[in-house]
Amino acid sequence: MATLDTKGREASYLADIIEACGRKTILIDVGTGRDGGDKPADAKTPTELLKQIAERTRSKVGDLLGAGTISAIVGVAGGRASAVFGEVVSELPYGVPKFLVSSARPALLAELATHSDIILYPTLVDLFGINVFTSRVLKNAGRAIAATHYAPVKLGRDKKIVAITAFGVTTPAANQCVARLADAGVAAIVFPANGAGGHKMEQLIAAGEFDAVIDLTITELGDEIVGGTPSAGPDRLKAASRQQIPQVIAPGAIDMVNFGLPSSVPDQFRGRQFYAHTPYTTLMRTTASENASIGRLTAERLSRAKGPTMVLWPAKGVSDYDRQGGIFYDPDADKAWLDAVKGHLSAHVMVRDLNCHINDGEFAEAATAWILEQLTQEGASHADV
């Protein structure tokens, strides 16, 4: 996929490399510069025009993939065509190779990658003719995309699958849940609660991919409310309730809001408590009042749950940094979350207090035991029909 009016040579060069690897190619033009019957004539702004081109191309690509004509898609693009590529692939299944070779600024590419599993190749140089730089990039890209495969298998339903959310600071909890579920013959898919991960999980839950959710790490709600970098958007903590599947919810990592480089922290937070998790990730300790807001939002969203739903509370801390002696340890601030949850939660949702840390074995055991119980009952009631 390329704008053949401006990137025609580069797209042909890439196609030749892919064909030399023994794969076939189809060129899809998303350019605006060619006259032709299929150029949208009624677009009034560049943005509108791009949307129309993307819409048309998305349906074309969907058809080609559905018919088995293509098994991967590669874009050669600058800024505008990258935006089009993002729209075009946004609803293709997970695992279909989507490869974007682009001179667009990396931050724009990151924006696209929050919605789907695009392999990004930021070239840093413009794709402007074939030269010593672009030929290296296009050769690598062509060989790489030619080597990828896609087997359109429906997720194996021989096993039940549970979605789990984790952060570095709640990884021990996720680890133990995965192991415990595996012992019971249940598969687990872990999503990083980094905005993109939570967003993707909600999408896949809504698509019916999971049988239950252990939402250990709802920290993205904190980012949504306080304004951290990795907000997962307003649809977080909603899909499982709508799908009526069993869910356990825990306040993992609500002790922190995430930012990027220290320079990315907005001025309004000057004077707050920060911690450099890595040079690129700056954590800010949440306050009791912020946690109360997160708790209220948690309760509002969970109150709509139609399936079996349990909130699990770890009294001794919600992340690795939030434990006795830890830099973010503040049980009172955490407790504000629990109080707000209890104050606003609909009566049909259970809350269970555990006197342990979120990463303790006891916590993972309680979460998985309850989920396994729900999955078994569900299986049994289905069998009754």
CB 140 within 8 A of CB 18: no
Give the one residue of 24, 34, 136, 272 binding its own copies; rule: CB under 8 A.
136
Binder among 59, 131, 346, 376 for its own copies (CB under 8 A): 131
From the list 176, 178, 244, 166, the residue with the least C-alpha distance to 211 is 244
By beta-carbon proximity to its own copies, the closer residue of 28 and 155 is 155
Rounded least distance, CB 84 to its own copies, Å: 8
Indicate the residue among 48 and 353 with the shorter CB distance to its own copies. 48
Which stretch in 31-39, 45-53, 305-313, 338-346 sits in contact with its own copies by CB under 8 A?
Answer: 45-53
The residue with tokens 């973010």 is 328
- When the beta carbons of 115 and 335 are compared against its own copies, the nearer one is 115
Contact in structure between 177 and 214 (CB atoms under 8 Å): yes
Q: Taking CB under 8 A as the criterion, which residues in 347-376 touch its own copies?
A: none
* Interacting positions 69-128 with its own copies (CB under 8 A): 78-80, 83, 86, 94-95, 97, 103-114, 116-126, 128
Contact status: 272 vs its own copies (CB under 8 A): no
Between 9 and 38, how does the x/- string for binding to its own copies read (CB under 8 A)? Answer: ------------x-----------------
Contact 252, 318 (CB under 8 A): yes
Give the list of residues 6+ apart from residue 184 with CB closer than 8 angstroms, or none: 368, 372
Residue whose CB is less far from its own copies, 39 or 139:
139
Residues 143-202 that bind its own copies (CB under 8 A): 143-150, 155-156, 161, 166, 168, 171, 174-175, 178, 182, 187-192, 194-197, 200
Which listed residue (140, 244, 376, 377) binds its own copies by CB under 8 A? 140
Residue bearing tokens 């704008």: 3
Helices 361-384 and 171-183, packing angle to 10 deg: 40
Q: Which stretch binds its own copies (CB under 8 A): 138-146, 304-312, 328-336, 358-366?
A: 138-146
Q: Which is nearer to its own copies, 161 or 225 (CB)?
A: 161
* Residue 359 DSSP SS3: coil
> Which two tokens mark 156?
């194996």
Q: Which of 133, 269, 274, 329 binds its own copies (CB under 8 A)?
A: 133
To its own copies, the closest distance from the beta carbon of 58 in angstroms equals 14
Q: How many CA atoms lie within 13 A of 356 on its CB side?
A: 15
Of the pair 45, 381, the CB lying nearest its own copies is at 45
Residue from 39, 58, 139, 242 that binds its own copies (CB under 8 A)?
A: 139
Q: What are phi and psi of 276, to 5 degrees?
A: -85, 100
**In the chain, alpha helices (H):** 4-20, 46-66, 79-89, 106-113, 132-147, 171-183, 196-206, 219-226, 239-243, 288-302, 331-344, 361-384
Q: How many helices (H) and strands (E) does the chain have?
A: 12, 12
Question: Number of residues in contact with its own copies, rule: CB under 8 A?
Answer: 86
322: DSSP letter? B
**Between residues 59 and 264, which has the closer beta carbon with respect to its own copies?**
264
Of the candidate residues 51, 56, 60, 342, the single one contacting its own copies (CB under 8 A): 51
Per-residue binding letters, 210-249, with its own copies (x by CB under 8 A): -------------------xx-------------------
**CA 83 – CA 64 distance, rounded (Å):** 21
> Is the Cβ–Cβ distance between 75 and 138 less than 8 Å?
no
CB of 188 to its own copies, least distance (A): 7
HSE, side-chain direction, 13 A CA sphere, residue 31: 16
Report the chain's C-alpha Rg in angstroms: 24
- Give 128 or 339: the residue with its C-beta nearer to its own copies: 128
